[in-house]
Amino acid sequence: MRRKRKKDDYPKDWDVVEESQDPDEYPPRVTRPDVIARRARNKITNCVAVKTSLNTFFKRGGRFLPGRALPWEEVLADMNKGYWRRTCWQTFIFYGFSKRTRRYRSSTAVMKLLRYSKVKGELGESLKTYNSSRCARSPQANGGYINQGWSHNTGDQMAMMTKNALSMNFYRRFHTFLKRTYMIDGKKAHEEYVRTGTRFDEIVLEWRAKVPRKPNGYLADEAHQLIPLTYLLLQDIEDRNTHGKDAIDEGDLFQEIRVFSILPTKKGFECSPMKMCQLGLWGLLKRAGFAAPKPGKGLFAGEIVTDGKVVSIMMRKPKKEAGPARTYTEKDFDVVWGLDPGRRDMFVATNQFEESVSCSSKEFYEEARYTKAKQKIKEWQDRHPKVLEAIRNMRTKKTASPEKLKVYIAFMTQRMDLLLRSSQLKPFRRLRFRIFLFMTKKLRQLCERLTPRGKRVVVGFGDWSNQDVAGIIKKSPAGPVKVFERELARYCTVIPIAEYRTSKVHFECQRQLKNQYSQRLCRDGEIRTQKVHSVLHCLNNGCRGMTVNRDVNASRNMRRLLECKLRGQDRPLAYTRQARA
């Protein structure tokens, strides 16, 4: 290999220019206005987040704890094992309480009782039942120094998830149970509800007497009151799935009913991110062999949050004085968008110039590399026979039978360490970090499409809460809707708009739209007339039978409601509950 040429080796006809040492000839330093604004904002805000990578944080402590290695991976694995164990034990507790309606202990109390060796009474019996089902050879989670700061946070999370799961899902499942038991569809069920003098009214009154209520007469939403009926609904589903195959005729296809768990358990078998408070940080230091810092005038705000990719450390800052609430008018903005979030389409937005911007959920997940990541993970699992065997042969936890739950616990206790280790490998974490980067990139591109440079933009964001599956119970929107709303608020002004009747009212005439129907070939080979969800039809004579896209029409209605709010006008009557009467 030839050596590198020196300055004397260049041909004489080449002009060799010496580097100038005069500092005045250097280009001026680039100043970033966003950095200057962030520094000025940090001086007056209540707290600021210091971010570092998760790998740097638990190996070297980052900028917050320089030179101190924290046992982050070990504690994260132990907390996931302990969290899974407590959710399973809590299910055994609720099996005992399913036959009575008295109040049960909170999930936080259940987490605290695990720190003591002696648990008496009904809780002790449920703990013995759980311990008899687990594999005795499998090591339990090490709870040294982390029971206080970590378990308390997970206990609060368990209590919140239990309350939400029962209150959100019970009445939808109860309505489905009535329709399935008495062989009626939703339309007939509504007719039978309003009729009088029929046999079905007596059945409805009988079941209404069993549904718990508050002292003021409204339906109850407390978990301990809904457990007995929830247990009854799950038992009915399992009995139908068990004996349904024998009841149908030969040659017919039997479709099982989807089962569910009585209480929520740990999602998946990967290492879920955990929230750590100040007590949890001191426990980490003690577990690593370091003495806890002496109390003083520290800047630490007592909270550390991680999503598995980065760590955010909240630092105290002077509190900003609360000013008067800002009001907006139409003159404050150049572009006004109405945005309708959804499930199939992530969002559809329309502005006052009738320009539309949309993004489907399929497009978002493909460009965020979620689809490729799933394929990659499947390839990794196929290369590891033990992991593949644990995933394919995993028992179900969605059951009303304690015996089936015992089989699931015995299976998982032997393989929990293997599954947690596989999800903590560096390629797996790197893949998740790449997904996070591409997701952030896609969200930034969508925000830039809605906010042109040099324009003052306001977006009326629909408050879709995915409540159409239940009708009464409000749930969380699917997909990255909330993440997109938070990201969009960094680029422009975002004002929430109530979505009530925006997808049912025609933008032009403010009359109610009707569904379109078309004939479709079903899986069983028969042609049926079915409703088309994305296309609506206006029966008003002035519109002359116009058909509109459901999401585009809803986004235009969002824009109208936003304009009314900016003008200080009341909500139009067509978008209120009085219009239904």
In this prediction, residue 446 carries a pLDDT of 92
Q: Using one digit for the tens of pLDDT, what is the confidence trace for 520-535?
A: 887 777 888 888 888 8
The percentage of residues in the chain with a pLDDT greater than 70, rounded to a whole number, is 65
Whether the pLDDT of residue 440 is over 80: the answer is yes
Residue 561 or residue 269, greater confidence: 561
Residue 292 or residue 331, greater confidence: 331
Q: Using one digit for the tens of pLDDT, what is the confidence trace for 83-98?
A: 777 777 777 777 665 5
499 and 464 Cβ atoms separated by less than 8 Å: yes
In this prediction, residue 253 carries a pLDDT of 64
Buried b (16+ CB within 10 A) or exposed e, 324-348: eeeeeeeeebebbbbbbbbeebbbb
DSSP per residue, 12-46: TTS-PPPPP--GGGSPPPP--HHHHHHHHHHTTSS
Question: Among 12-26, 229-243, 345-359, which range has the highest average pLDDT?
Answer: 345-359
In this prediction, residue 106 carries a pLDDT of 45
Give the three-state DSSP class for 146. coil
Buried b (16+ CB within 10 A) or exposed e, 185-206: eeeeeeebeeeeeeebeeeeee
Domain positions in the chain are 75-243, 330-497, 514-579
Of the pLDDT bands very low, low, confident and very high (cuts 50, 70, 90), residue 447 is: very high
Mean pLDDT score of the chain, rounded to an integer?
74
Whether the pLDDT of residue 344 is over 70: the answer is yes
Question: What's the rounded mean pLDDT across residues 59-85?
Answer: 67
Of 344, 335, 577, nearest in space to 466 by CA: 344
Of the pLDDT bands very low, low, confident and very high (cuts 50, 70, 90), residue 432 is: confident
The Cα-based distances of 139 to 44, 88, 116 in angstroms read: 49, 16, 18
Q: Using one digit for the tens of pLDDT, what is the confidence trace for 453-499?
A: 888 899 999 887 655 443 333 455 666 888 898 899 999 999 988 88
